[in-house]
Structure 1
Amino acid sequence: MDIIINTLKNSYNTPPILSQFLNNKNFILFDIETTGLNANYNRVILIGVLYKQADNIVIKQFFCNDSSEEKQLLESFMDTFKTFDFYITYNGRNFDIPFLNKRFTKHRLNYKIDNYLNFDLYKVVKSNKNFLGLDNCKLKTLEKFLGINRKDMIDGAESVKLYKKYEYTKDTNLKSKILLHNYEDILHLLPTLDVLNYISKDNLYAHFPKEFYLDDKFKIRIIDYRVKKDFLEVWGKFYGNINQDLIFYNHNYNFSLMKGDKQFNLRLPLLNVNNGDEYSFINLYELDFMVHDLNEMSNKEKLQYLVKAKNEIKNYNIYKFIKDFSIHILKQFHMNKDVVDGS
């Protein structure tokens, strides 16, 4: 197995919305090449990763000279990958991550990539394909849209065929073509993030992983939420120790953490305005979280509590309020060591 490392000067500026979300998180981009599409019997033969290191960009490729070296490749990849907090892929949620996790299990490697911490650019592009005017969601199509040119002329299917030939002939020219294809996929994934500059903040926050901390030992992860007519319903998981179920129910809102299955649930009241229920706000009148009167707020202040405008879900406002309100509740219980164990 070979590990090929290339170091480049970093001249790329991350889109502001992504920088805001990352908030100094240590992130990595990655892409895999395989001998086929079925993870039950096909193998991973090449993984390319890209990450920032000081003022540089590092591209590291893990390559199997023979597919029998897959376990060694996976172990080497793990050593690098597990040091990062967050990852970015292109269709990694549906392909790269499930495939890798299947192969980890196949080789009895005690490791699993958490799909929740993956920001899949493909999903963003797919949901905005018509808005962006793209013919399809292929990475090369997106690169063309952004004016990115590549040297490699093959696709993933051709890469599979070339590797089969390489494994038999050990032709270094074939190896170079396979490596170049993966190298350019991972190298160009970084500037393709510029497509985020064309997309609204709320649309992007629908795709970002959403989790927050009470302290360094207690975390809540939002799995999903629904804006209904009169309520915002939220569910997720929590990570940390509680000594008993934490349940706060009243006629206005519900908040719960269930010790057994680590479930987090939150139900918040909404205020619908404009007669036709076109605009929905967090109903501050029914919460003891804030004492502000909506009527006394400026329009700009009111907008931070807007969760739905006509058919548009305000994902950023929803995430921010869930976070702030939940931390407010948790801090009250955190003072009681009989409920929340911060040890």
Structure 2
Amino acid sequence: MEIINYHLDEKLHLPKNYLSVFQDLSFAMFDIETTGLNPEYSQVILIGILYVQEERIAIRQLFCTHRNEEKILLETFQNEIKNFDMLLSYNGDTFDIPFLNKRFQYHHIPCKIESYKNFDLLRFVRKQKEILNLQDCKLKSVEKSLGIHRKDILSGKESVELYNLFENNRNSHLKKLILLHNYDDLYYFSKCLEILDKVNLEEFLPSIPIIISIDAEKKCYVTKWAIQNHALLVQGFYPPSTRNYNHREYGLGFHFKFHHKTQSFEATIPLYKGSLSTGLSCLYINLNDFSFCHQTKSKEYQVPDHLVILKEGKKEKKLEIWHFMISFLRYILSGF
């Protein structure tokens, strides 16, 4: 197996929406090349990783000179990504991650990539397709909408065919084409992050994974947040927890459960019903019910400072919910 490193004299531009949510998180973008689409009998032969090193773009490619080196490649990749808070991919939730996990399992490698640690840009694009004015959700279409026109003419299928030829004749030109295809996919994928600023922050939040820094080292992964039955429901995972027992906590304004075996949690926060001066109904929280400090981000309502509107009529106030979740989970999980 070969490791090829590239250090670009170029900063990675991160869009405003991205920085609003993920600024303090380390991340790696990744893309895999395989010998086929079925992980039962196909192998991973190349993984590209893009990350920021000393404020510059760095790309690392893990390349199997023969498909029987797959186990070494997977073990190396496992070690490469373990210290990143988040992964970024395109269609990773559906293809890359399930494929990798199946191959980890095949080689008896004790690793599983959790989808809640992955930001799949394709999911965002699908949810916002109409706003983004895209004909389809292919990465090439996203690139085109942003004015990106790359020279790479290889398809994924053609890359597989080239690898089969390379295994037989070790032609260096074939290897260069395979590596370039993966490199370009990663490099231009990083440019496509610009599309995140094509929507406002309120529309951005429901389309992305929510990852909250509890402190400088510990991260919490929220997998579900929604208002149901006049309550705010929050579910997720907290892998850094050292607790070896289940935990329940009740306060005036919440119910919280932590399951140590799965490192998962769920919180239910009952909401008050009210009416606004506009005549619309609303759901809100009373900050006096909680023993931590939190300030509303919205100034659009003439209500006392200790009341935070989370739903107006049928519209959930995603930005307010997100800010409150951060305060609430930092308060609850800081002792775990």
Does the 8 A contact of 2:249 with 2:256 survive in 1?
Answer: yes
Find the residue that maps to 1:21 and give its secondary structure: helix
Q: How does 1:11-22 map to 2 (within 5 A)?
A: 11-22=11-22
> C-alpha separation between the residues in 2 aligned to 1:184 and 1:279?
51
Q: Deviations over 1:225-246 (max 9, x none)?
A: 3213522222334433276632
Does the 8 A contact of 1:202 with 1:313 survive in 2?
Answer: no
Q: Deviations over 1:265-289 (max 9, x none)?
A: 3222333535999664423288355
1:337 is aligned to: none
Tell me how far 1:127 sits from its aligned partner. 0.7
Find the residue that maps to 2:28 and give its secondary structure: strand
Does the 8 A contact of 2:6 with 2:59 survive in 1?
Answer: yes
Tell me how far 1:319 sits from its aligned partner. 2.4
> C-alpha separation between the residues in 2 aligned to 1:91 and 1:292?
36
2:243 is aligned to: 241
Distance change in 2, residues 1:256/1:60 (3 Å): closer
Amino acid at match of 2:286: L
Name whichever of 78-87 and 279-288 sits farther off. 279-288
2:30 is aligned to: 30
Name whichever of 265-274 and 101-110 sits farther off. 265-274
Tell me how far 1:298 sits from its aligned partner. 4.7
Does the 8 A contact of 1:65 with 1:167 survive in 2?
Answer: yes
Amino acid at match of 2:147: G
Gapped runs of 5+ residues in structure 2?
Answer: none
> C-alpha separation between the residues in 2 aligned to 1:178 and 1:240?
43
> C-alpha separation between the residues in 2 aligned to 1:110 and 1:292?
41
- 325, 328, 334: which one pairs with 1:325? 328
Find the residue that maps to 2:8 and give its secondary structure: strand
> C-alpha separation between the residues in 2 aligned to 1:3 and 1:132?
37
Amino acid at match of 2:62: F
1:139 is aligned to: 139
Tell me how far 1:327 sits from its aligned partner. 4.0
- 308, 313, 319: which one pairs with 2:311? 308
Does the 8 A contact of 2:127 with 2:207 survive in 1?
Answer: no
Q: Deviations over 1:153-191 (max 9, x none)?
A: 122122222222222333333222221111110001111
Gapped runs of 5+ residues in structure 1?
Answer: 335-341
Does residue 283 in structure 1 map to residue 285 in structure 2?
Answer: yes
Distance change in 2, residues 1:116/1:263 (3 Å): closer
1:164 is aligned to: 164
Name whichever of 2-11 and 221-230 sits farther off. 221-230
RMSD after superposition: 3.2
Name whichever of 24-33 and 322-331 sits farther off. 322-331
> C-alpha separation between the residues in 1 aligned to 2:46 and 2:208?
27
Find the residue that maps to 1:9 and give its secondary structure: coil
Tell me how far 1:31 sits from its aligned partner. 0.2
Distance change in 2, residues 1:100/1:298 (3 Å): closer
> C-alpha separation between the residues in 2 aligned to 1:324 and 1:207?
21
Does the 8 A contact of 1:230 with 1:269 survive in 2?
Answer: yes
> C-alpha separation between the residues in 2 aligned to 1:267 and 1:149?
47
Tell me how far 1:211 sits from its aligned partner. 4.2
Percent of aligned pairs with the same amino acid: 34
Tell me how far 1:147 sits from its aligned partner. 0.7
Does the 8 A contact of 1:119 with 1:207 survive in 2?
Answer: no
1:152 is aligned to: 152
> C-alpha separation between the residues in 2 aligned to 1:247 and 1:217?
24
Tell me how far 1:151 sits from its aligned partner. 1.3
Does residue 194 in structure 1 map to residue 197 in structure 2?
Answer: no
Tell me how far 1:220 sits from its aligned partner. 4.6
Amino acid at match of 2:284: I
Tell me how far 1:194 sits from its aligned partner. 0.2
2:266 is aligned to: 265
Does the 8 A contact of 1:220 with 1:264 survive in 2?
Answer: no
Distance change in 2, residues 1:99/1:312 (3 Å): farther
